[in-house]
Structure 1
Amino acid sequence: MSTSFLLETYAKRLRLPTIKRVYKEIAHDAAERQIPYEEFLLALLEQEVQQRDANQIASRIKHAKFPSMKTLDQFEFSAIPSLNKPKLLQLARCEYIEKTENIMFIGNSGTGKTHLSIALGKEACHHGYSVQFWTAAKICNELMEAQSQKRILQLERQWLKTDLIILDEVGFVPLSRTGAELLFQFCAARYEKGS
């Protein structure tokens, strides 16, 4: 059996798809530049780790179910001069999650609350945190449906396992009494957990 075949077989078996894809190119470069074996191995492993990190970030972002992709770089801070940009950039470091602190954006419609929420949520995904984005109306509907199907505990476990919950449009759409009560109970359960 050829060395290439064995390398690809082992890379597949060990679930190292990036190494399988790039090893020939990196090996050729290492041979041309007479790179020591350890540096060659390091370059291969770095490629695998970087790709896995990127895949995990993409997975967390997908799981968060953001309605759109927004970043802090895209936000027009000049449109709202009273907004504390240094504070928002500090929040992007996600220390508030570790400290189990809450953040609330309050303002009129069209002032960028959703944009900032998504941007901070994406930053949390990049920092390794699990995130869920919900509108208040959607989570209330989901809670009422879960209650009627007797799977509310399942939804609560999912809610409590998530590092960051983003609730958008709170107070924007009127909620049913039952939905509002369930939402309050869920928020209280999360608060009791200390997150």
Structure 2
Amino acid sequence: MNMTDTPQILLHHHLKKLRLPTFMAEYDKLAGQCASENKNHIQYLSRLTELEMIERERRMIERRIKAAKFPAMKSLDSFDFKAMPSLNKPLVMELARCEYMDRYENVIALGPSGTGKTHIALGLGLAACQKGLKVRFITAAALVHELIEANDEKRLLRLQRQLTSQNLLIIDELGFVPLSKTGAELLFEVISQCYERGSLIITSNLPFDEWTQTFGSERLTGALLDRLTHHIHILEMNGDSYRLKQSKRKTRNNKPK
């Protein structure tokens, strides 16, 4: 071994132990840049630590997004608010700051199928991940299926703990299919456990007065709405299908000139 290589090998070993991969990848190149710009050692170290922090934050956001299990990556930037004039855009942009989550408030997006409710929920979920918050996205039908399966396999408490440990739980498509009595009770339990511990975003094609169709019990529906609507932001998304408008626009844009 060349003796001049020893400090470099030792440095690599220490950086690996300290889990500073960006330091390891960038320190040599950045040293040359800082030397050519006459930067002192404090400025050099400051730049190096900044690069490490930026990369660490990027990886953390990636992990949060992966853990959220989004079915697609959709941001609020890609939503055409002009196509859905009933939607309160200033409120959506305010919610994207995620301050409502500090107060354990909930968001419910209501409107017919195809109006972009899932897109908005995904956009708000992505905004939360970018702030380093724990998010989980799941459809109501899939969540109920998971809860019933976990209950049958005696692992319900573990699943409930996972769900209630999230900063934000997004339940999509509530109301698309009626729930069994067991399914409705298990979903009610999860929503109750999330109450004032975290925030919920729920999308539904049904107005509140028709939620009894899904839960099958006026008592259960009333108790659920009491919890959900205590701290709530309602996004009204009524009008023509957002998806249909987007599809027509793409068709027009793709037509040969």
Query: TM-score, length-normalised on structure 2?
Result: 0.73
2:52 counterpart (25, 48, 51): 48
Aligned to 1:176: 180
| Residue 163 (str. 1) matches residue 162 (str. 2) | no
Gaps of 5+ in 1: none
Q: Comparing both chains, which one has the higher relative contact order based on Cα–Cα distances under 8 Å and sequence gaps of 6 or more?
A: 2
SS in 2 for 1:103: strand
| Structure holding more strand per residue | 2
Aligned-residue identity in percent: 49
Query: Could you tell me which amino acid in structure 2 is paired with residue 148 of structure 1?
Result: D
SS in 1 for 2:185: helix
Task: Report the CA distance between 1:4 and its aligned residue.
Answer: 2.7
Across the aligned residues of Structure 1 and Structure 2, the Cα RMSD in angstroms comes to: 1.3
2:17 counterpart (13, 17, 39): 13
2:32 counterpart (11, 28, 33): 28
Aligned to 1:135: 139
Query: Could you tell me which amino acid in structure 2 is paired with residue 141 of structure 1?
Result: H
SS in 2 for 1:46: helix
Residues in 2 aligned to 1:20 and 1:176: alpha-carbon distance in whole angstroms: 56
Quick check: 2:22–2:52 contact (8 Å CA) kept in 1? yes
* Runs of 4+ displaced beyond 6 Å: none
Query: Could you tell me which amino acid in structure 2 is paired with residue 63 of structure 1?
Result: A
- The count of residues paired between Structure 1 and Structure 2 equals 195
**Superposed CA offset, 1:36-70 (max 9, x none):** 00000011111111100000011001000000000
Query: TM-score, length-normalised on structure 1?
Result: 0.96
2:151 counterpart (147, 153, 157): 147
Gaps of 5+ in 2: 200-257
Aligned to 2:239: none
Query: Could you tell me which amino acid in structure 1 is paired with residue 190 of structure 2?
Result: F
Task: Report the CA distance between 1:173 and its aligned residue.
Answer: 2.2
Task: Report the CA distance between 1:118 and its aligned residue.
Answer: 0.5
| Residue 109 (str. 1) matches residue 113 (str. 2) | yes
